[in-house]
Structure 1
Amino acid sequence: MSLTVISNRGPYTPERDSDGTLRWKPPAGGLTAALTPIVERQGGRWVAWADAEPDVKSVDLPQEEARFTLDRVSLSDEEVERYYTGLSNGAIWPVSHGLSNLVTLSEADWRVYRQVNARFAEATSLHEDATVWVQDYQLALVPNLLRRASSRARVGFFWHIPWMPYSMMRVLPWLDEVTRGILGADLVGFHTEEYAHDFVRAALALPGVTRTEGGVRFEGRDVRVEAHPISVDAREIMALAESEEVRETARTLQGTLGGSRVLLGVDRMDYTKGIPERLEAFEVLLERREDLRGEVTLVQFAVPGREGLEEYRALRERVEHLVGRINGRFGTSLWSPVRFVAHGASLSELVAHYLVTDVMLVTPLRDGMNLVAKEFACASKRGVLLLSTFAGASEELQDALPCHPYSPDHLADALEAALALPEEEREARMTRLREHVRTHDVHAWAQGFLSRLAEITS
């Protein structure tokens, strides 16, 4: 089976050496890192935005031993601003996370979004037995454009963020067209049954769409709508956790933290991740428990992102203010309550942090899945995973401690409970979590989705 993946971001990033030689750097994380091994194993093509070195239209990757071809779609600055920053992240993203107060709606953005989706579809070579897997909300119109170009192609689509109830998604004026675009696929995937159910409800609002046992019937075709929760490369993370290099980094980290117990947050700087609420809960905990002052440190990674949007600049300022306030109130010459890291880290660095962590804080206000929770489950043997009930991962990871992220008092209660959990129970919970992720890793996710797509189109 020849596979073509279509995504906004590409799997490799071009960088030039000091002598001008062009190198292609493999992905460090996220969706592209999850999909790259699958495409490299199967071969085929990948269509993505040429966000750097736009003159390179096509390249065989990896450079050392080519296994697939990357076809690159060049976009102008205005197209990026309207399609990506404007419509995708200024409208679809907040609507899909239930944050209608942050939505920016622009007909000009919508027109460019449609044009760019058409460009991605046109860049995709289709043949009789083609299997195409379209990824995420930036390219929601592509499946139906491909369907109109080839009625025989196998088309899968995966929506990686939440899909809210119909009454909330209707804030998007173009919801019907987005839904029609997705319904061009043979198989539509979501991370949870709840999101899949809510999408079916939106599809049934379209004229002529009827419900079927596994999805809906649209324009004379059966479209399956299913939950396929994404995961991580469990084997890679477990191997890193056992490596002497990572363990040595973890020992060094523990030393720099002065032996205090560690709370860890690893997030993009995004208003859906609940970073301010987490900081406020930590502040409440320190107010309540004088005995924890100097004994517990919160390490918070906050990777910058989407700085072009005012909401993100305001979020960064709020987070920095809270960090300063907490450290000013409770810090001493020997202890800073919050260690704020405003940049990303490699997977090996993160695994080292997971190894020294007592409580992992995955407390988004809303999240499609959250792979940090699964990374931690693979790496840690002694920690506690504190997991928001509003994260898609909570549907799977039943041995995490659940928490409500919106209330600082409730979240502080959960932090206290996590810190007090007996060692035997911590280890038992982590053993079960690790085994679940090991047997439901990213390779099982991709193979499961593609196998279902082949089955329903055979």
Structure 2
Amino acid sequence: MRLITCSNSYPRWDAGKLLPRSPGGLVPMLIALLQRHGGQWIFTAPPDLPAVDEVSVDGGIQLHPMAFDEQTRHQHYDVVSIRLFLGMLHYMHDTAVEPVFDRSLLAAWDGYEAVNRAYAKRLDELATGEPDELILINDPHLMLVPEFFVQRRGPLTYFLGTPWCEPDYFGILPAHIRVRLLESLLRCDTVGFHAERWVDAFLACCTRYLPDAEVSGRVVRYRGRTTTLVAVPFPLDVDVVERLRDAPATDRWRAELALRSVGRRTMVRADRLDLWKNIPRGFLAYEAMLERRPELAESCWFAAVVTMPTRAADRHRVYQEQCEALVRRINDRFGTPAREAVSLIYPASRGDSRNCVAAALTMSRAAIVNSTYDGLNLFAKEAALLLDDRASLLLSVNAGVYEQLAPHSVALDPFDIDQTSRAMEAALGDPDGHDGSASAAARRELLHSETAERWLAAVFPA
């Protein structure tokens, strides 16, 4: 088997070696697969990388960084991929005022096309059509690559790690754009998502906007091609998480967090500061819990571990300010100088964010994921592995991972402050917790059964 993969996301490497993996997500999984099978990886060059066309690393892996001028990069990444597409797929647009398809957005669409053409050209150059060659395209940044990939031979899979929105919301795109995106993706043999609900939404869009499409079960037949839809969540690298749990840096974080908790029962969340992570409503729900039961401020602590996006925009800074203002207000009402009721923790400057998350999970009575819409949410899987048997995982029904972990979690309506608040109270209010040993064993067994190889086999069905 030989894998050729394309992604906007990029790896890091040094002295001919790919750098160590984190517990999960697209880049660590691609590293694991390429290290086993060898192959080619086309990706957007890191901003600090000197201009290179190709890099060879151990394991028979060839890296192909794609560099673009700043205007094209801005149009492709900032304007179309992030503001337009991620805003749409996560239901983040305020449709009363956005998006506006004016001259500047249509010019940015030209940049999106240019980047996708460049990826497809490189893919044409690398693909040989050999019987054991698999081609995997990832990320909503590259949804036109299948259209431009004219020399395609052999199995072709597209995997989107984001949600997919329902037809009415997808309809905010102009007709010529939404049709091109669907037609391009249907040039693939397989299109994959993390959750069945995102598959259902994609199929509904095909039915609504492609009158010639035949949708039967999880198969779409369109203009002589057949595309199979699959729901296959990324696996958690359990070995990496277990090494993190026992690492010296994790021990240091455990000691620091223990001092800040002052012996209180802890609830933790860990998020990148993306708008769909729904951090402010989480704080509002905790505040509502303390309003009902102010004595819990003396026995409970809410620790929110946050990191900034790689390219933080003005809206991220406004969002951060909103979160920090809520934390100040809650602490003014329910905290003391020696004991915060809620804490925002920014561990990235120390370079050991994952250790901080692992440490917090091993000492917490609850973990919360209340995202409005999420493709997967890796933190929920880390929590399912590391929380002890008395702890609760509070999980948004709109997180992609919910389908997998629903039997082992407490369902949250991410928009309902009162319901979320009462779930927090149930998880934190009992000093002894609950006996969840059976569920904890089952969820750990589920996570141990997942592998990158099984994921690959599922997205390239025979």
Q: TM-score, normalised by structure 2?
A: 0.89
Shift of residue 114 of structure 1? 0.9
Shift of residue 253 of structure 1? 2.9
Shift of residue 239 of structure 1? 4.1
Match of 1:85 among 78, 103, 107: 78
Match status 1:227 vs 2:231: yes
User: How big is each residue's C-alpha offset from its partner over 1:179-200, in whole Å with a ceiling of 9 and x where there is no partner?
Assistant: 1111121111011112112212
Q: Distance in 2 between matches of 1:443 and 1:299?
A: 35
Q: Distance in 1 between matches of 2:250 and 2:408?
A: 26
Q: Distance in 2 between matches of 1:391 and 1:262?
A: 22
Q: Match for residue 295 of structure 1? A: 299
DSSP 3-state at the match of 2:275? coil
Q: Match for residue 53 of structure 2? A: 57
User: How big is each residue's C-alpha offset from its partner over 1:17-52, in whole Å with a ceiling of 9 and x where there is no partner?
Assistant: xxxx99864454632122211111110010001123
DSSP 3-state at the match of 1:265? strand
Q: Match for residue 426 of structure 1? A: 436
Match of 1:37 among 13, 32, 45: 32
Q: Which runs of 5+ in 1 are unaligned?
A: 15-20
Shift of residue 390 of structure 1? 1.1
Return 201-210 or 222-231, whichever deviates more. 201-210
Q: How does 1:205-284 map to 2 (within 5 A)?
A: 205-241=209-245, 246-247=250-251, 249-284=253-288
Match of 2:182 among 179, 182, 194: 179
Are residues 441 and 153 of structure 1, via their aligned partners in 2, closer, same or farther at CA, if it must alter by over 3 Å? closer
DSSP 3-state at the match of 1:297? strand
Question: Is contact 1:367–1:390 with CA below 8 Å preserved after alignment?
Answer: yes
Match of 2:143 among 140, 144, 147: 140
Match of 2:388 among 373, 381, 398: 381
Are residues 343 and 116 of structure 1, via their aligned partners in 2, closer, same or farther at CA, if it must alter by over 3 Å? farther
Question: Is contact 2:380–2:393 with CA below 8 Å preserved after alignment?
Answer: yes
Q: Match for residue 69 of structure 2? A: 76
Q: Match for residue 9 of structure 2? A: 9
Kindly, what percent of the aligned residue pairs are identical?
Answer: 26
Shift of residue 98 of structure 1? 1.8
The residue type equivalent to 1:110 in the other structure is W
Return 365-374 or 429-438, whichever deviates more. 429-438
Q: Distance in 2 between matches of 1:335 and 1:94?
A: 37
User: How big is each residue's C-alpha offset from its partner over 1:95-137, in whole Å with a ceiling of 9 and x where there is no partner?
Assistant: 1112231754411111110110111111121112231100021
Aligned residues: 441
DSSP 3-state at the match of 1:392? coil
Q: Distance in 1 between matches of 2:457 and 2:246?
A: 27
The residue type equivalent to 2:117 in the other structure is A
User: How big is each residue's C-alpha offset from its partner over 1:241-296, in whole Å with a ceiling of 9 and x where there is no partner?
Assistant: 35677456434532342111111110011110010000111111111112211221
Q: Match for residue 94 of structure 1? A: 87
Question: Is contact 2:11–2:18 with CA below 8 Å preserved after alignment?
Answer: no
Q: TM-score, normalised by structure 1?
A: 0.90
Q: Match for residue 157 of structure 2? A: 156
Q: Distance in 2 between matches of 1:340 and 1:98?
A: 26
Q: Match for residue 374 of structure 2? A: 367
Match of 1:436 among 443, 446, 452: 446
DSSP 3-state at the match of 2:34? helix
Q: Match for residue 200 of structure 1? A: 203
The residue type equivalent to 1:399 in the other structure is H
Return 72-81 or 337-346, whichever deviates more. 337-346
Q: Distance in 2 between matches of 1:172 and 1:232?
A: 34
- RMSD over aligned CA atoms reads 2.2
Are residues 33 and 248 of structure 1, via their aligned partners in 2, closer, same or farther at CA, if it must alter by over 3 Å? same
